[in-house]
């Protein structure tokens, strides 16, 4: 694999090969112990690490995190996932409430009318923002140029 890849040849490398083709992203996870699933956390760690050191391919692309949980822990998982996006200069797409649906089964989730409405609003907001970015781009309005990252360590 090339420079923009992980040493493990799996779904992460498949995603990295395709990520430049997409204008926005929605990352979803079930909640395990008030956090994103281990599989999602590992995926995000690896994908965003590759991007951070190989070119800012996410910068300016809208993104949203969504979570599903039986009862609680959803906002902690969203907070965990949103940190990847803000670290990579991605506009985070909002909804009318936390991007969480509740239920232990698919049927229970279908009965979470507020959660499903939140997901519909999120989808409309994502579509709207993608259209705004496209129209802006057509008129010469581009995402601000990336400033070289400066790191300060306070332990001396």
Model confidence pLDDT, tens digit, residues 71-109:
999 999 999 999 999 998 999 999 999 999 999 999 999
Query: Which uninterrupted H or E stretch holds 132?
Result: helix 113-138
Q: What percent of the chain has pLDDT over 70?
A: 95
Residue ranges of E strands in 31-96: 63-69
DSSP letter assigned to residue 26 = E
- Percent helix, percent strand, percent coil in the chain, to nearest 5: 45, 10, 40
pTM of the full structure:
0.89
Mean pLDDT over 102-117 rounds to: 96
pLDDT band at residue 6 using 50, 70 and 90 as cut-offs: confident
Kindly tell me if the per-residue pLDDT of 53 is higher than 70. Answer: no
Res 155 pLDDT > 80: no
Whole-number Cα distances in Å, 51 to 45, 77, 92, 125: 10, 21, 17, 25
Q: At residue 1, does pLDDT exceed 50?
A: no
Q: Where are the beta strands (DSSP E) in 33-93?
A: 63-69
- Partnered with residue 76 across adjacent β-strands are none
The Cα 143–Cα 26 span in angstroms is 20
Q: What is the pLDDT of residue 2?
A: 42
CB 100 within 8 A of CB 118: yes
Angle, CA of 105, 83 and 117, to the nearest 5°: 40
> What is the average pLDDT value for the chain, to the nearest integer?
91
pLDDT in tens, 7-29: 788 889 899 889 999 999 999 99
| CB 88, CB 56: distance < 8 Å | yes
Smallest CA-to-CA distance from 95 within 118, 75, 117 is with 118
Q: What domains are defined for the chain?
A: 11-138 (3.40.50.360)
């Amino acid at each position: 694999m090339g420079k923009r890849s992980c040493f493990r040849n799996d779904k992460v490398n498949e995603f990295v090969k395709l990520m430049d083709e997409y204008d926005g992203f929605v990352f979803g996870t079930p909640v395990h112990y008030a956090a994103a699933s281990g599989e999602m956390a590992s995926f995000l760690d690896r994908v965003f690490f590759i991007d951070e050191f190989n070119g800012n391919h996410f910068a300016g692309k809208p993104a949203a995190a969504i979570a599903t949980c039986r009862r609680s822990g959803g906002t902690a998982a969203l907070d965990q996932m949103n940190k990847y996006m803000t670290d990579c200069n991605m506009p985070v797409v909002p909804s009318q409430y936390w991007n969480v649906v509740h239920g232990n089964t698919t049927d229970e989730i279908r009965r979470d009318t507020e959660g499903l409405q939140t997901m519909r609003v999120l989808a409309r907001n994502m579509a709207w923002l993608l259209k705004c970015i496209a129209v802006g781009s057509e008129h010469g309005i581009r995402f601000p140029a990336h400033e070289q990252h400066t790191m300060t360590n306070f332990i001396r």
